[in-house]
Amino acid sequence: MPELSEEQINKILQGISIPPQPQIMVDLQMEQVMPDPDINHIAKLISQDVGLAGTVLKVVNSPFYGLANEITSIQQAVGILGMGSVVNIVNGISIKSSMSDETIKALTRFWDTAMDIAMTSATLAKQVGYNYPDNAYALGLFHNVGVPLLMARYDNYMDIMEESYSGGSNRIIDFENQQINTNHAVIGYYTAKSWNLPKVLCSIIAEHHDCKRLFSKSSQENDKSTLMCILKLAEHICGTYKILGRQDVDHEWDDIGQLVLEYLGLNDYDLEALKESFSELGISPNNYGLT
């Protein structure tokens, strides 16, 4: 994204306050850049936050890791997950910490699908041979971080989002731009940037509903294109169109799906096999209680 003045950024943010980086994120990032990160210190930091400790244990004991025995030790969990994954989990929880209980409750389907997309993205990354599954996980977790911030700002935002997924606009973000003069992708970009996420992730977050433009570039940016395709495939498998958009048809996938599959070296048969295997892990749009 182009560099903007502070005045232009404030106009884009439409009065939305980007939550500051929580102290535990800062502490973990400082530990992460040390020549020899101390796993014991990291485990101790996490253990001080009950919600965070519970989430770390929930992730490590999920079907995605397929462990024979349940893990109950934070230190052991951190050792299994690795530094990158732990930082990603902390970042995800930190989004929640900035919101009111009422907003969090209203966004249950957002939180649930964000974690599912993160886990699915990391798994897909390994399956297609992408070497940085932690980046795929972080992208899955953060790509829609603008959604809760906009929901906290606009009472009717979920209605706007559902309409934007209905297929009436060229891109999902177009309807949001018409209604509120900004959109969740650009808000997500500035949040990710302020929290010092890798530049490639910030860039994809900004463009994740404009990926046809990425494919149309004469020289595609391989790392960025691969990550974008992994994200869009994960969104489709997890049913973002149904869970957030409340639509029966994934209009965005209809538009870009074949391009995504071809780029990843997959076909429609592979897609159905992936949907079935993730469904066995408990990942399916039908798992959410939609009312």
Of 84 and 112, the one with more pLDDT: 84
Count CB atoms within 10 A of the CB of residue 69: 6
CB distance 83 to 42 below 8 Å: yes
Q: What does pTM read for this prediction?
A: 0.76
Average pLDDT over every residue of 266-273: 96
Do 133 and 243 lie in one domain? The reply is yes
Do 25 and 119 lie in one domain? The reply is no
Q: How many CA atoms lie within 13 A of 243 on its CB side?
A: 25
Do 80 and 203 lie in one domain? The reply is no
What's the CATH code of the domain at 162? 1.10.3210.10
Do 266 and 182 lie in one domain? The reply is yes
85-102 per-position pLDDT tens digit = 787 777 666 666 655 566
In the chain, the number of structural domains is 2
Do 76 and 106 lie in one domain? The reply is no
d(CA 97, CA 22): 8
* Structure token pair of residue 188: 């997500």
Assess if residue 93 is contained within a domain. no
Continuous segment of H or E residues that includes residue 126: helix 108-127
Assess if residue 7 is contained within a domain. no
Confidence at residue 271, expressed as pLDDT on a 0 to 100 scale: 97
Region of poorest pLDDT, from 15-19, 80-84, 90-94: 15-19
d(CA 205, CA 191): 10
Confidence at residue 92, expressed as pLDDT on a 0 to 100 scale: 66
Average pLDDT over every residue of 196-215: 88
Within the chain, what is the greatest distance between any pair of CA atoms?
54
Do 51 and 111 lie in one domain? The reply is no
171-183 per-position pLDDT tens digit = 999 999 999 999 9
Is residue 74 predicted with pLDDT exceeding 60? yes
Is residue 14 predicted with pLDDT exceeding 70? no
Do 109 and 71 lie in one domain? The reply is no
d(CA 284, CA 288): 8
Helix (H, G, I), strand (E, B) or coil at 67: coil
Is residue 255 predicted with pLDDT exceeding 90? yes
Give me the domain span that covers residue 126.
99-287
Do 53 and 113 lie in one domain? The reply is no
* Structure token pair of residue 51: 């919600």
Confidence at residue 75, expressed as pLDDT on a 0 to 100 scale: 86
Output the average pLDDT for the chain: 82
Do 257 and 197 lie in one domain? The reply is yes
Do 63 and 184 lie in one domain? The reply is no
Is residue 186 predicted with pLDDT exceeding 70? yes
DSSP 285: G
Count CB atoms within 10 A of the CB of residue 16: 18
Do 251 and 153 lie in one domain? The reply is yes
Sign of the dihedral through C-alpha 251, 237, 98, 92: negative
Average pLDDT over every residue of 128-142: 87
- Among the candidates 55, 84, 113, a domain finishes at 84
Is residue 138 predicted with pLDDT exceeding 50? yes
Region of poorest pLDDT, from 89-103, 203-217, 243-257: 89-103
Average pLDDT over every residue of 93-115: 64
